Structure 1
Amino acid sequence: MTDHPPGQAPGRSLQNLARALRGPERIAPAGPVRVVPPAPAAPSLLAAIAPGAAPRAHRASIALPPDPDRAAYPPPWTWPALHRPEDAAIRHDGAVTTFAALDAAARDLSAALAARAIGRGDVVAFLGHNHPSQIVALMACSRLGAALLPLNWRLAPPELGFILQDAAARLVLALPGYAPLAESLAPPGMPPGDYVMDPTAPLPAGQAGVAPGTAEDPALVVYTSGTTGRPKGAVLDGAAVVANARNAVRVFDLTAEDHVLTVLPMFHVGGLCIQTLPALMVGATVTLHSRFDAEAWFDAVEREGPSLSLLVPAIMAALIAHPNWAGADLSALRAVGAGSSDVPAPLAEAFHAKGVPVQGIYGATETGPIALAQSPAEALADPGGIGRAAPLCEVRVQDEAGHPLPPGRIGEIAVRGPNLMRGYLRDPEGTAAAIRDGWFRTGDAAQLDASGRYRLAGRIGDVIISGGENVYPAEVERVLMTAPGITDGAVCGVPNPRWGEVPVAVVVPGPGYDPEAVLRHFEGKLARFKQPHHVVTVTALPRTALGKVERAALRALATA
C-alpha cells in the first residue's frame, strides 16, 4: 500500500481533509439541507437516551459541509494513517506512536473488544491518566459502534461506581496502576478478569470484517462534573465529535504542520476534544503529558516547539507564578486556548506580553464542547473574552422563556448545532429540560455586545440578588483579579438581613495584600450594590479538576 493515492503528492489528502473539516466561512440555517438518516437504535445505549433526542430536530436546520467519505465513518481517523503513516501522531513519555501504529493498535483493540462481545450501543470505560491508549480505545470503540466512557480518576470509588452503574459499562480499560480500583468496582458476581482489561497489554493482530460504526452511533459518554448534584452522562455521537473537530480546525487554523501540547486531563471533553482529537484528525502531532506539571510544560515548549496548547486559568496562574516564567521562551507557541471558566484578563495579558495570544473558548460537555471562541486577533483585542459563535454553531442570549434578548441584556446562553449531545443517558426529563426546540440551555449567563462578542456573567444559579438587584459573580471577579495583593479569588453571595444577600470576595492573599485596599479597588469601577461587602481570606479556593470554582464549597468558606 502506498502512503498516498497515485498521482497525488504526499500530504495533499490531509490538506483536502483540513479544508473539508473547515467547511464554509459560516454555516447558515437557511438554504438546502442534507439530512443524514439515523442509524437503527441500539437498545443497550440509544434506547436509554430521551426518545425525542434522536434524531436531533435541530440538525435539519444546520447545513454541514460534505464529508470526504461519509460511508467509511469516521474518515478523520483513517486519513492520516493512509496518507502520512510514518509521521508522529502522539509523543508520550519519550515514546513516539506513528499514525500507522495508532491505526493498527485501534484495529487490534477493536478485534479484542469484539471477541468479548462488545458491539454497537455498548459502553466501554477508560480509567487512567492521559495515555495514548485512551485515543486507541476511542478509535477502537468507534469501529464497533460502541461508546467510550472516560472516567475521572480523581473521583472517589463510590462516585466512580455510580457512573459505571449508571452507564451500564460492559468493560473497564484500566491502566495498570488503576486496575485494583477498577476490579473493586466490578458488578456483583462478575469475575474481575471479565470486567477489567489492560489497554497497554500486547494484543494479537486484529482481523478484518468487523461491522463499522456510523456517524449516528454514540461515540463518547462523558459525565458532567456534578457540581449541582448527581453527574449526568452526556452522549455525543460520532457526527457531534467530528462537527466539534471542524469547529476546532477553524478556530485554531489547524493543519498537519501543527504540534499540540496536551496537559489537561482527557477525561473531560476539554482536554480530549478541543485540540487533541482535532489535531490528530488533520494529521498533526500531539505531545501528551500524563498530567500537568509546570516544569515539564516549560521544558516541552522550549525543547519540542509545540505550536498550540490548551490551558485553564488555574494552570495559567501556576505558570505565571513559576520561577521559570520570567525567562521562559514561548516563541514556538502561536496561540494558547483557554477555557473551563472565565479567564481573568491579567492572566491573558501576561501571555500576550510574551507574544502568545490566549484564545478564549467557551462551551460545555453537552456542546462537544466548542460553542464560542476567539480568533487570535480578537484575543489580543479583548483579553479574557469568549469571542463569537463557532463556525458550526448558532448561539444566542435568551430569557427564561427562551426568547432571544437584544445586545446589552444579560440572559442565558443557548446553543444549537450538530456538535450538541444526543441527550443525557437514561434521563429523559433532564434531556427535555436542557434541550428545548433544538436549543441547549447552558445555565450560564452572558451578554452580547453590539459588535457580536459574548461576555460571561456567571452561572444562572450563582446570581446574587442584593436588594432586588442581580449581581453576577463573574463581573465582580474580573475587577477583583486586578486588585493588588491577590493571587486568586472568587465571589459569592452570603445572607444579609437588610439586603437579602451581599457579595463577598473570597481571596488567596499574596505579597502586599491589604483587605481595605481590595475593597477600595472597586470604587468607581462597579455600582455600589455590586461591590463586595467584605473579604474572606483562604489558603486555596475549592476547585474542580479543570479549575472551576466549586460554588457550594466557596459559600461554605464565605459563611464560616
Structure 2
Amino acid sequence: MDLCHLIDRNAAFAPDKPAIHFEGESLSYAAFSVRIERTASALKAEFGVGRGDRVAILSLNRPDYLVLLYACARVGAILVPLNWRLAVAEQLFILTDAGAKVLALEEAFSGVIPELDRSLPGINLVGLDFAPPDGSTFDSLLECDNHDGRNPHADLACPLLIVYTSGTTGRPKGAVLRQEALFWNGVMSQHMHNLTSDDHVLTVLPFFHVGGLNIQTTPALQLGATVTIHSRFTPEAALASFERDRPTLTVLVPTILQAVSDHPGWGAADLSSLKAVATGSTIVPPHLIERFVARGVPVLQVYGSTETCPIAVYTRLGGDLSRAGSTGLPGLCCEAKVIGADGAEVPPGTPGEIAVRGPNVFFEYWGDQDATRDALHDGWYRTGDIGLCDDDGYFWVRDRKKNMIISGGENVYPAEVERVLLEHPDVSECAVIGRPDPRWDEVPIAYVIPRSGRRPDADQLKAHLQAQLARYKVPREIVFVADLPRTALGKVQHFLLKKLDAQSRAQGEVS
C-alpha cells in the first residue's frame, strides 16, 4: 500500500464528494483520483520518473500541487516543494542539491527558467498554468491515460518529500520524509482535531511548509474530508471564507492570527462554523489566543518541525486547554522528552532540549550523513529547542532553536544571511540576530565589521543580500561596529549580541 491508496479508497466510498474547493470550483474524490492516476502515468511515460526520482514544484497553493504529491506517492518518487519566496539563487541550489528530474512551476515564477538553462539544462519543465519553452503543460500530462501509473515497489516505506530548511551551517538541508511519516502524522492530526470525513478544512498556509501541507490538509484528504485551498493568505479572503465556505478547521500561525483579528471585518465576521483553530510555528502570544477564544473558537497549539512532519506535541480538541502557554502532550503515535547535555531525560520542571521519536520523524537529511548523525540518536530527533515538561507530561517551549529567527512565520537562520554578507568585499565580519517586532514577531538585524579602509553603505549591502536571498531574510537594519562579543575561542556570541542590541535600543542608541 502507498499513500495514494487512501485517496483511491475515499473515491470508491464517496466518489461525488468534494475533495478540494479552489477559486469557485470543486474537484470530487473520483476526479481527484483520476487526475492523480493520469499524472502518475505521465511522469512514468513522459519523463521516466520512478522510485526515488525527485520531482520539484514551484507554485502557489493549487489543487495540482496535491495531485503531484499523490502521483509521486503512486510511482515511488519524491516531491521537492520550493519556497516561492526564495531568491532564484536559493531555488537553484535546492534543485541542484536534490537532483530534480522534473520541475513543475507557475508562470509567475518562470524567472528561474533562464538560470535553469545554464545550470540544469537536463531538467524537464512542466507549466502548471502556461507552456514553458521546450517544456510540457500540466494539461497535456492529463491526456496520458494509456499507461499504468502504479509502481508495485512503492509503499509507505518510500521517501515522499524532501523539505528544505534553512541550515545553521549557512546552506539549507533537505529533510527526507517517508510516506509513513505523513500517514502517522495524519493519524495524530485526526486525534488532535477530532477530525472526521464530515470536516471541512480551510488551508491558507503555503504548501511548501509542512505546516500548510500536513497539519490538516493531507490528514483531511486521508480521511475523506473536504479541503478549501487559498492560493495565498490575505485576511480579507480568510474572513470571507469563514462565512461563505463554512470551514470547521483551519491552521493560522501567530502572524496570521494577528492579521485576521486586526482586520476591520473581524468584529462582524461569522466564525460559528469553526470548531477549532490550530496554531504553532513559534511561541504564541496569549492575547492572540484570547481574541479567538472570546469569539467562541477554541485554539489548539501544535509543536513540531519540518523534521517531525510536523506534528509532535499538541493540545487536543476536548482536552485540557487550561494550562496557559503549554503546547500540550506528546502525540498519539510518537514520544517526546526533555533531555540534558548528556542525552539523559531530565526531571519534570527542568529545562532542557526537546527530543522526539516516532514514525513521523524524518529519515535523513538528503545527502548529508554528518547532519543526520548529529540530529538523530537511537531514533530520537534532537530538536535544539529548549523546553520543559511538568509532572503530568505537558510541554512548554521556552526558547527557539539556537540563533534561529522566526519572522512572520518564516524561519531565518543567521548563518545563511551571514554567509552572503561575507561575500561582499566591504565586509570583514558580521553577525545577524533577531530583534522583537510588533508585526512580524522578529526581524533580522545585522552587525557588521567593515574591512580595513572600507566604508560600506547599508543600502548597498541590502541590495547585495536581496540579489541572493528572500526579502524576509534581508536585515531590517545594518549596524556598523568595531567588534563583536566573542567566546574565548573567538566565536561570536549571538545571545549576548542580542542582549546588547536590546540595551542599546532601550538607551536610544539604536533606532
Q: TM-score range by the shorter chain?
A: 0.7 to 0.9
Alignment of 1:211 with 2:142, yes or no, is no
Equivalent AA in structure 2 for residue 160 of structure 1: Q
Alignment of 1:451 with 2:399, yes or no, is no
Contact 2:101–2:124, Cα closer than 8 Å, also in 1: no
Contact 1:90–1:98, Cα closer than 8 Å, also in 2: yes
Alignment of 1:91 with 2:31, yes or no, is no
Contact 2:176–2:365, Cα closer than 8 Å, also in 1: yes
After superposition, the C-alpha distances for 1:254-300 in whole angstroms (9 at most, x for unaligned) are 11100000000000100001100000110100000000010110110
SS in 2 for 1:361: strand
- Rounded Cα–Cα distance in structure 2 between residues aligned with 1:267 and 1:379: 31
After superposition, the C-alpha distances for 1:334-366 in whole angstroms (9 at most, x for unaligned) are 000101111111111111001111100000101
Contact 1:173–1:197, Cα closer than 8 Å, also in 2: no
2:107 equivalent among 176, 193, 212: 176
Instruction: Specify the alignment match of 2:68 in structure 1.
Output: 137
Question: How far is 1:79 from its partner?
Answer: 1.5
1:331–1:227: structure 2 CA closer, same or farther, 3 Å change rule?
farther
Contact 1:133–1:200, Cα closer than 8 Å, also in 2: no
1:366–1:505: structure 2 CA closer, same or farther, 3 Å change rule?
closer
Instruction: Specify the alignment match of 1:80 in structure 2.
Output: 10
**Greater CA deviation, 307-316 or 108-117?**
108-117
- Rounded Cα–Cα distance in structure 2 between residues aligned with 1:405 and 1:191: 49
Question: How far is 1:505 from its partner?
Answer: 7.1
Instruction: Specify the alignment match of 1:290 in structure 2.
Output: 231
Equivalent AA in structure 2 for residue 109 of structure 1: T
Instruction: Specify the alignment match of 1:257 in structure 2.
Output: 198
Contact 2:279–2:302, Cα closer than 8 Å, also in 1: yes
1:270–1:227: structure 2 CA closer, same or farther, 3 Å change rule?
farther
1:191–1:125: structure 2 CA closer, same or farther, 3 Å change rule?
closer
2:276 equivalent among 303, 319, 335: 335
Instruction: Specify the alignment match of 2:94 in structure 1.
Output: 163
1:326–1:552: structure 2 CA closer, same or farther, 3 Å change rule?
farther
1:277–1:183: structure 2 CA closer, same or farther, 3 Å change rule?
farther
Matches within 5 A, 1:431-510: 431-462=372-403, 506-508=436-438
Matches within 5 A, 1:193-212: 193=125, 197-201=136-140, 203-206=142-145, 207-208=147-148, 210-212=150-152
1:311–1:334: structure 2 CA closer, same or farther, 3 Å change rule?
same
Contact 1:373–1:387, Cα closer than 8 Å, also in 2: yes
Equivalent AA in structure 2 for residue 140 of structure 1: A
Gaps of 5+ in 2: 127-133, 407-413, 415-432, 440-469, 478-492, 505-509
Contact 1:379–1:385, Cα closer than 8 Å, also in 2: no
Contact 2:383–2:401, Cα closer than 8 Å, also in 1: no
Normalised by the size of structure 2, how large is the TM-score? 0.76
Q: How many residues align?
A: 421
Contact 1:174–1:182, Cα closer than 8 Å, also in 2: no
- Identity score, percent: 41
Gaps of 5+ in 1: 1-70, 464-472, 475-491, 493-502, 510-542
Contact 2:175–2:362, Cα closer than 8 Å, also in 1: yes
- Rounded Cα–Cα distance in structure 1 between residues aligned with 2:169 and 2:283: 18
SS in 2 for 1:370: coil
Question: How far is 1:199 from its partner?
Answer: 3.2
Instruction: Specify the alignment match of 1:495 in structure 2.
Output: none
- Rounded Cα–Cα distance in structure 2 between residues aligned with 1:304 and 1:72: 31
1:357–1:209: structure 2 CA closer, same or farther, 3 Å change rule?
closer
Instruction: Specify the alignment match of 1:113 in structure 2.
Output: 43
- Rounded Cα–Cα distance in structure 1 between residues aligned with 2:276 and 2:149: 42
Equivalent AA in structure 2 for residue 404 of structure 1: E
After superposition, the C-alpha distances for 1:137-172 in whole angstroms (9 at most, x for unaligned) are 011111110000110000000000110111011110
1:228–1:448: structure 2 CA closer, same or farther, 3 Å change rule?
farther
Equivalent AA in structure 1 for residue 150 of structure 2: V
After superposition, the C-alpha distances for 1:423-458 in whole angstroms (9 at most, x for unaligned) are 000000000000001100001000101222100111
Question: How far is 1:325 from its partner?
Answer: 1.3
Alignment of 1:149 with 2:89, yes or no, is no
SS in 1 for 2:360: coil
2:359 equivalent among 409, 418, 423: 418
- Rounded Cα–Cα distance in structure 1 between residues aligned with 2:233 and 2:120: 36
Alignment of 1:190 with 2:122, yes or no, is yes
